[in-house]
A = this chain, B = another copy of it.
Amino acid sequence: MDYRPVITLTTDFGLADEFVASMKGVILSIAPETSIVDISHLVAHGNIKEGAFLLQRTYPFFPAGTIHCVVIDPGVGTDRHILATKSTGQVFVAPDNGLLSPILRDTDRLEAIHAVTNRSLFNTRVSNTFHGRDIMAPVAAHLAAGLNIKEVGDQLTCGDCVIVPQIKSKIQSSRLIGEIIHIDRFGNICTNITLSELANLSPTHDIIVHVGSYSISGMTKSYGHVGDGELLAHFDSHDHLEISVSGGSAALLTGSRPGSIVTVEQRKSHH
């Protein structure tokens, strides 16, 4: 099969209005062969953290050459930059507001950062409130059609960009203290505690996970290994510690929100 470029779209535009479709029309006018993939358009209004999370979780599954266009842009029309970044053979176009932090922090894989300033690539008329349609979509389409990233504007360094630091879990008196970074549609509680961090602490069958006023003993393989409605701790499909309720919502049950604390301690031994 032939090569077809892929552009992904991640926005907070919702699914009812015309915004996403207008971007797609612009893209297909410039690069008609493109496969356009929606990552999500239901990012909470202006929630840059959530946009960055979705990007980080999905881009590794896309083919080399994919252009990711991420438009959560509360600063649209101000003097904030728009960035085009290349990393691991993929390109990322987004406002410079922290959205691309997962890409920009990973400096080993970073290939290029450019400010998007070349007006000849933009729509003829550029509005003050919709740079997704008037700047980022056409630039992404030109890149999909083969434009070299150097053509979009001047090169930048990481030091020129807004980078939100990663919140890491920490060890405090032999407890691992982490944070909830996402609640998904099922009410699964996704934490920043990784498999390798846990493995350093203790064998994973020998731990207790605390969230809200609940405690969970040991790690389980998957939802179906506990009874319906039961709370379990397991590693999610990105090797992060996740807390779930089989057939229910762990977030509702435990009253958790992004930012809440999750702790892991070694079970007291009775030998």
Contact = CB atoms under 8 A, between A and B. Distances in A.
Interface string A17-32: 1110110111011011
A233 to B, nearest CB: 12
Contact of A17 (B1, B33, B40, B222): B40
Contact of A18 (B17, B29, B54, B130): B54
A30 B152 CA distance: 30
B128 A75 contact: no
Interface stretch (A56-64, A167-175, A202-210, A250-258): A56-64
> What is the total number of copies of this protein in its complex?
3
A32 B63 contact: yes
User: Chain A at the B interface: mostly helix, strand, loop or mixed?
Assistant: loop
Contact of A129 (B29, B41, B134, B237): B237
B223 A74 contact: yes
A221 interface: yes
A118 interface: no
Given A74-B247, A225-B77, A15 B40 contact: yes
A133 interface: yes
A28 B37 contact: yes
Given A25-B66, A26-B61, 11 more contacts: A6-B32, A13-B185, A16-B40, A16-B185, A18-B54, A18-B58, A21-B38, A21-B40, A45-B247, A127-B237, A128-B222
The 9 A-B pairs at the shortest CB distance, nearest first, are namely A77-B222, A25-B61, A14-B185, A127-B237, A130-B237, A78-B224, A25-B62, A16-B42, A1-B33
Interface of A: 1-4, 6, 8, 13-19, 21-22, 24-26, 28-29, 31-33, 35-43, 45-46, 54, 57-59, 61-63, 66, 74-78, 80, 127-130, 133-134, 145, 184-186, 221-225, 234-238, 242, 246-247
20 contacts: A4-B32, A14-B186, A16-B40, A16-B43, A19-B184, A21-B39, A21-B61, A28-B37, A29-B62, A46-B247, A74-B247, A77-B221, A77-B223, A78-B222, A127-B236, A128-B234, A128-B237, A129-B236, A129-B237, A130-B237
